[in-house]
Amino acid sequence: MRLGIETQSGVMSFIKCIALLCVLSYSSSHTQAQKIENSPTIADILSGDFRVAFLGIDLSETKFIGDKEDWPGAEFIKTLNPAWNNLLAYDLRKYRILPRALRLKPELVEYYPNICTIHNDKLSFGEAIMPVSFGDEINNDKIQSILDSYDFTDLTGIGLMIFIESFDAKNSLGTMYFTFLNLNTHKIIYSEKLNGNPAGVTPRKYWVETIHDVISQVQEIKYREWKKAYLR
């Protein structure tokens, strides 16, 4: 049976409308995806669909508080620097818990510990060792200034860096900023100050435990708080 001219015209118009809607829908979703990728928010991170690049711990403004027995010197800290970052990136048995903490599939968390390790190795820690804490605390302005000095090479999307404010042997406490950043722009997405408790015997494990404690707090407490505050 052949369709009449008017019927054929109507069918063609309908098909054209559907095609146009598909194009507009794709264009809108593509633009939205680009917008999210270029300007991610904490809500986007909590959605569970983004890759996160863990870059390690930054020691640019860290105060190492304690006696000579606690912090024998700058070279001592330099030897611990790669060990701390590598434990967090490669120790599957205990320390590599970021995917669970952020409710992400393991393949969505990538590890680039050398970025912070190399940066930290260029620092001079002589004046950072002190018997008691004094001087300004880290804030977002300082963190942003540090981020601006990094070269993230070909990395894009969302990064996670932990900025250590102090490793305090006097009070057995690690204080740090858990910081998400936009790798495309180096800008802070979200940063929160948290404290962690040390444990263990060797300096390598003793202080990395403070970071493990903070990530565990994110897993058990902070993630739910963030989700309640930012996913509505």
pLDDT at 136: 78
pLDDT at 38: 62
Q: Please name the residue that has the structure tokens 């990728």.
A: 37
Q: What is the pLDDT of residues 22-79, one digit of tens each?
A: 433 433 333 333 444 568 899 999 988 889 999 999 999 999 999 999 999 999 999 9
Question: Is the pLDDT assigned to residue 111 strictly greater than 70?
Answer: yes
pLDDT at 133: 80
Question: Is the pLDDT assigned to residue 203 strictly greater than 90?
Answer: no
Q: Look at 6 and 107; give whichever has higher pLDDT.
A: 107
Question: Is the pLDDT assigned to residue 215 strictly greater than 50?
Answer: yes
Q: What is the pLDDT of residues 116-144, one digit of tens each?
A: 999 999 999 989 999 988 777 899 999 99
Determine the average pLDDT of the residues in 152-160. 92
pLDDT at 8: 53
Determine the average pLDDT of the residues in 215-219. 97
Note if the pTM is more than 0.75: yes
